[in-house]
């Protein structure tokens, strides 16, 4: 009855020695000691089998463009935006497609099989939109790519941006984006949130805005986003990305704000690698971390995911598509070192972003698509600690990628000949 059984798996929820039975690309059974069958079997050897990593916040139109046409010397967000403005006229569709496909190869090898990418709609040619729609079609057999119409230069500030954004949605872009803190005034920012939420409500689309990505404690567009979410009945479909100004806000105001976010069912996405490097740039010392208030949002019941945001582009000179590296940084910046908190950081790059994207059939449960990753780690905490090797990556029951186990040969008299840094299982 099964095509394949994965035996002796540990699951992210803490269950151990579980067998996963797969047929026709779907998971049929998840339980200990599945009855012997003639099916092919893979022995997970007590290592963690997880649903794939999900990146809820990325910029695929700029990825792998680092150094084009020059590198970001200051490393700031604003020089990054200026640099992207220099690069935009030089972009070609083929080059965007090639870089995006190369990044998707990296992602698959890291077990990252679903990505929500913002795509800049401020270029009237909509070159990047056409390119990423083509990439979405090409990668569909192995990676879910969801696109957000993102007016990088401001939907009210940049001439024609609203029209271009609407055209992008007509072309098949999935989600409405925005950048209220980059509009000319606070009032324009609030107005942009209203216009974009109404557009999403009219079209039945989700919303994901870059919101308050600054260190300005008075940048409060998240409040407006929560307000319009409720007003328009968009609960559960709206996300505030970055929310870095919340780091610097007055505590009294935040004690009012977080319940409003929760009440509106607005999700939050922090981007730890980028927030820790781009925020606090106007500070001397002490220097702010700039990441939003992740533990406090989680404690209030707000869904919080961690995104990669950038890899090798005008804003970030590093990265490899490794969502465990993202979780590792998020855990450190938020000081989430308790056992339950570390597991929440793992969920922030798996289950939580899957729910934010609205992915169908995601998870290790009967009925889900057999998309899974075998990690060289016993549990989610060890996976984060080691940024564990993805031994096997599978989509609909078919292997997409394999990596050899990480280990080192030692030549130390009287000591073991080999180490692999595993600890939890012993
Ligand atoms: Fe972003």
Cα–Cα distance for residue pair 20/392, rounded to 1 Å: 14
Tell me if 415 is assigned to some domain.
no
Q: What's the pLDDT band for 78 if we cut at 50, 70, 90? A: confident
- 398 in a structural domain: yes
Does the active-site annotation cover 213? yes
List, for residues 286-305, the tens digit of each pLDDT value. 999 999 999 999 999 999 99
Q: How remote is the CA of residue 227 from the centroid of ligand 1, in Å?
A: 22
245 and 318 belong to one structural domain: yes
User: Which pLDDT value is given to residue 175?
Assistant: 98
Nearest to 325 by CA among 126, 415, 100, 316: 316
Q: Is residue 183 part of a domain?
A: yes
β pairing state of 372-375 and 304-306: unpaired
What pLDDT score does 390 carry?
A: 98
Kindly write down the DSSP assignment for every residue of 237-294, as one continuous string.
SEEEEE-THHHHS-HHHHHHHHHHHHHTT-EEEE-HHHHHHHTTTT--SS-------H
For residue 410, name the pLDDT band (cuts at 50, 70, 90): very high
Q: Which CATH number goes with the domain that contains 314? A: 3.20.20.140
Task: Please list the residues that pair with 418 across neighbouring strands.
Answer: 409
Task: Please give the distance, rounded to the nearest whole angstrom, from the Cα atom of residue 83 to the centre of ligand 1.
Answer: 15
- Looking at the domain assignment, is residue 418 inside a domain? no
Task: Indicate which CATH number applies to the domain containing 24.
Answer: 2.30.40.10
pLDDT score at 425: 52
DSSP per residue, 292-306: --HHHHHHTT--EEE
Alpha carbon of 57 to ligand 1 centroid (Å)? 6
Identify whether 367 is part of a domain.
Answer: yes
Q: Are residues 225 and 277 in the same domain?
A: yes
Q: Are residues 23 and 141 in the same domain?
A: no
Overall average pLDDT of the 41-46 stretch: 96
Q: CA 85, CA 153: separation in Å to the nearest integer? A: 9
Decide the pairing of beta strands 4-11 and 18-23: antiparallel
Q: 140: how many CB neighbours lie within 10 A of its CB?
A: 10
243 with 129, same domain: the answer is yes
* In a shared domain, residues 19 and 163: no
Residues 186, 215 within the same domain: yes
160 lies in a domain?
yes
Residue 425 lies inside a defined structural domain of this protein: no
Q: How far is the CA of 333 from the centre of ligand 1 (A)?
A: 18
Question: pLDDT per residue over 227-264, tens digit each?
Answer: 999 999 999 999 999 999 999 999 999 999 999 999 99
Full residue range of the structural domain in which residue 323 is found: 53-357
Higher pLDDT, 401 or 38: 401
Q: Cβ contacts of residue 419 below 8 Å, gap of 6+?
A: 407, 408, 410
423 C-alpha to ligand 1 centroid (Å):
35
Catalytic residue, from 213, 223, 263, 296: name it. 213
Residues 103 and 243 in one domain: yes
What average pLDDT does the segment 369-394 reach?
98
Least confident piece of the model among 84-88, 209-213, 277-281: 84-88
Is 84 contained in some domain? yes
Same domain, 331 and 190: yes
Query: How many domains would you assign to the chain?
Result: 2
Q: How far is the CA of 58 from the centre of ligand 1 (A)?
A: 6
Q: What is the pLDDT of residue 89?
A: 87
Query: Are 161 and 222 found together in one domain?
Result: yes
Q: Are residues 172 and 197 in the same domain?
A: yes
In a shared domain, residues 315 and 326:
yes
Nearest to 308 by CA among 99, 80, 131, 54: 54
Does 280 score more than 80 pLDDT? yes
Could you tell me if 285 and 372 lie in one domain? Answer: no
Strands 18-23, 26-31: pairing is antiparallel
């Amino acid at each position: 009855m099964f095509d394949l059984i994965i035996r002796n798996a540990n699951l992210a929820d803490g269950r151990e020695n579980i067998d996963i039975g797969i047929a026709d690309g779907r998971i049929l059974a998840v339980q200990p000691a599945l009855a012997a069958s003639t099916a092919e079997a893979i022995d997970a050897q007590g290592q963690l089998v997880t649903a794939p990593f999900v990146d809820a916040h990325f910029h695929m139109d700029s990825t792998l463009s680092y150094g084009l046409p020059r590198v970001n010397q200051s490393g700031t967000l604003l020089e990054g935006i200026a640099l992207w403005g220099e690069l935009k006229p030089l972009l070609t569709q083929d080059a965007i497609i090639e870089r995006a496909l190369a990044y998707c190869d990296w992602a698959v090898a890291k077990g990252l099989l679903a990505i929500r990418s913002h795509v800049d709609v401020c270029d009237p040619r909509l070159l990047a939109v056409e390119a990423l729609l083509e990439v979405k079609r090409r990668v569909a057999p192995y990676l879910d790519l969801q696109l957000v119409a993102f007016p990088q230069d401001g939907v009210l500030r940049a001439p024609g941006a609203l029209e271009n954004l609407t055209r992008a949605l007509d072309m098949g872009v999935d989600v409405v984006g925005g950048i209220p803190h980059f509009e000319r005034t606070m009032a324009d920012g609030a107005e942009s949130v209203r216009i974009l939420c109404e557009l999403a409500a009219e079209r039945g689309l989700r919303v994901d805005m870059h919101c308050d990505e600054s260190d300005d404690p008075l940048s409060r567009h998240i409040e407006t986003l929560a307000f319009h979410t409720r007003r328009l009945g968009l609960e559960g479909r709206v996300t505030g990305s970055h929310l870095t100004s919340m780091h610097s806000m007055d505590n009294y105001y935040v004690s009012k704000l977080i319940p409003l976010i929760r009440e509106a069912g607005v999700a939050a996405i922090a981007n730890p690698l980028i927030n820790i490097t781009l925020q606090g740039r106007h500070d001397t010392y002490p220097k702010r971390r700039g990441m939003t208030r992740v533990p406090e949002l989680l404690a209030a019941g707000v869904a919080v995911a961690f995104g990669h945001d950038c890899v090798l582009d005008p804003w970030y000179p590093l990265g490899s598509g490794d969502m465990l590296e993202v979780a590792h940084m998020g855990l450190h910046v938020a000081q989430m070192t308790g056992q339950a908190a570390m597991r929440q950081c793992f969920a922030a790059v798996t289950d939580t972003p899957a729910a934010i994207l609205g992915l169908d059939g995601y998870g290790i449960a009967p009925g889900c698509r057999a998309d899974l990753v075998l990690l060289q780690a016993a549990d989610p905490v060890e996976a984060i600690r080691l940024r564990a090797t993805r031994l096997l990556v599978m989509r609909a029951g078919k292997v997409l990628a394999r990596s050899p186990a990480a280990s080192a040969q030692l030549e130390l008299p009287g000591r073991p000949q080999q180490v692999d840094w595993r600890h939890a299982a012993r």
